[in-house]
Amino acid sequence: MNVKEVEKLLKEVKNGKTGIKEALEVLKNFPYTDLGFARIDHHREMRTGYPEIIYCAGKTTEQVKEIFRVMSEKENNVIGTRANQEMYDAVKSISPDAIYYPIARIISFQKKKPKAPKTRIAVITAGTSDIPVAEEAAVTAELLGNNILRIYDAGVAGIHRLVDTLPEIRSCRVVIVIAGMEGALASVVGGLVDKPVIAVPTSVGYGANFGGISALLAMLTSCSTGVTVVNIDNGFGAGFSASMINRMK
């Protein structure tokens, strides 16, 4: 439940439209539901503005299915990250309206569509191999109610591909830059725009990339101001943070 929903319920009790027993029934599992293997936090949307999001990797298919079932019954929008096809098939068997984004590896079930702000979030990748992480960021931000500008394969090896899109990038409120190898693109973008840049290092690269460590260190030591860095391959974290910035008034 979010703040508006609780406020509406309390007003209905006050005005006699809803009885106390009915209200207690709605609130009986508030603020969380204990499934034994997971405690689903229904209070999170009130605290943070967004409902709890499921990290599916490491969970069994049955666990993911049960978590989706409980959260969807509470009329919440549900997002599951790092999900596979088997998990999606199980969720769809109980929630036919569930959608799977295979590149992003995200399952979504939307009861209510968030109103999107007029400003956009730009998601830029250095290479095509970075697109899975970029799609995790882009789809996350879209499901949280944002419009996205996607610019893929615009890395420093052919910087003219980035320069051609600068007017569009500068029209966005937040920029997410995803890069593997040496991770240079985040510094370049940071030096060209007056918007916050969220850098995502990826594990894309040959041996000396050390699974994304080289890109991570390059981004952390960037000489461009206004560049913030999330964890390796953490497209979700970038998309969530960008959404919070973009929706600030």
DSSP letters along 97-138, please? Answer: T-EEETTTTEEEE-SSPPPPPSSEEEEEESSGGGHHHHHHHH
Taking the C-alpha atoms of residue 40 and residue 34, their distance in angstroms, rounded to an integer, is 7
Higher pLDDT, residue 77 or 141: 141
pLDDT score at 2: 58
pLDDT band per the 50, 70, 90 thresholds, residue 135: very high
Q: Is the dihedral of CA 51, 72, 19, 114 positive or negative?
A: positive
Domain definitions of the chain by residue range: 31-109, 120-244
Whether residue 223 is predicted with pLDDT greater than 70 in this model: the reply is: yes
pLDDT score at 114: 77
Which residues fall within 8 angstroms of residue 39, CB to CB, at 6 or more apart? 32, 33
Whether residue 97 is predicted with pLDDT greater than 80 in this model: the reply is: yes
- Six-digit token pair at 205? 């690269």
Whether residue 111 is predicted with pLDDT greater than 90 in this model: the reply is: no
Q: Is the dihedral of CA 108, 112, 113, 116 positive or negative?
A: negative
Mean pLDDT of 1-10: 70
* Range in 5-14, 53-62, 121-130, 209-218 the model is least confident about: 5-14
Q: What are the residue ranges of helices labelled H in the chain?
A: 3-14, 20-27, 44-48, 61-73, 85-94, 131-143, 160-163, 166-170, 185-190, 213-220, 235-246
pLDDT score at 1: 56
Residue among 107, 114, 104, 247 nearest 173 (CA) = 247
pLDDT score at 155: 87
CB 156 within 8 A of CB 185: yes
* Range in 1-10, 51-60, 193-202, 224-233 the model is least confident about: 1-10
Which 3 state secondary structure label does DSSP give 197? strand
Which 3 state secondary structure label does DSSP give 221? coil
CB 232 within 8 A of CB 201: yes
Q: What is the CATH number of domain 120-244?
A: 3.40.50.1970
pLDDT score at 3: 63
